[in-house]
Amino acid sequence: MLGTTVLIPTSLVPQMGGGNEEKAKVIQTLLFVAGLNTLLQSLFGTRLPAVMGGSYTFVPSTISIILAGRFSNYSGDPVEKFKRTMRAIQGSLIVASTLQIVLGFSGLWRNVTRFLSPLSVVPLISLVGFGLYEFGFPGVAKCVEIGLPQLVIIVFISQYLPHVIKRGKNIFDRFAVIFSVVIVWIYAHLLTVGGAYNDAAPKTQASCRTDRAGLIDAAPWIRVPWPFQWGAPSFDAGEAFAMMMASFVALVESTGAFFAVARYASATPMPPSVLSRGVGWQGVGILLSGLFGTVNGTSVSVENAGLLALTRVGSRRVVQISAGFMIFFSVLGKFGAVFASIPAPIVAALYCLFFAYVGAGGLSFLQFCNLNSFRVKFILGFSIFIGLSVPQYFNEYTAINGFGPVHTSGRWFNDMVNVPFSSEPFVAGCVAFFLDNTLHKKDGQVRKDRGRHWWDKFWSFKGDTRSEEFYSLPFNLNKYFPSV
Domain boundaries, the chain: 1-140+232-476
Distance CA 4, CA 7 (A): 5
Which residues in the chain come in under a pLDDT of 70?
212-213, 441, 484
Helix 118-130 to helix 237-264 angle (10° resolution) is 110
Q: Radius of gyration of the chain from Cα atoms?
A: 22
- How far apart CA 484 and CA 221 sit, in angstroms, is 47
- 406 phi and psi, to 5 degrees? -95, 110
459 SS3 class: coil
Which amino acid is present at 75? S
Q: CA–CA separation, 52 vs 289, rounded Å?
A: 11
CA distance 157 to 149: 12
pLDDT given at position 89:
96
In eight-state DSSP terms, residue 402 is S
Neighbouring CB atoms inside 10 A of 190's CB total 11
Write the pLDDT tens digit of every residue in 162-197: 888 887 778 888 899 999 999 999 999 999 999 888
Model pLDDT, residue 280: 96
How much is the pLDDT for 236? 93
What distance separates the 2 farthest-apart alpha carbons in the chain?
Answer: 69
DSSP 71: G
Give the pLDDT confidence score for residue 97 in this predicted structure: 97
Nearest alpha carbon to residue 52 among 72, 70, 36: 36
Q: Kindly state the helix (H) or strand (E) to which residue 300 belongs, with its residue range.
A: strand 299-300
Query: 262 CB contacts (<8 Å, ≥6 apart)?
Result: 46, 48, 268, 269, 270
Among 50, 62, 94, 84, CA closest to 286: 94
Quote the DSSP letter at residue 74.
Answer: G
Q: Which helix (H) or strand (E) holds 53?
A: strand 52-53
Q: How many Å from the N-terminal Cα to the C-terminal Cα in the chain?
A: 33
Q: How far apart are CA 262 and CA 259, in angstroms?
A: 5
Q: If 0-12 CB within 10 Å is exposed, 13-18 middle and 19+ buried, where does residue 247 land?
A: buried
What span, in angstroms and rounded, lies between the C-alpha atoms of 35 and 321? 10
Q: Which residues of 440-459 are buried (b: 16+ CB within 10 A; e: fewer)?
A: eeeeeebeebbbbebbeebb
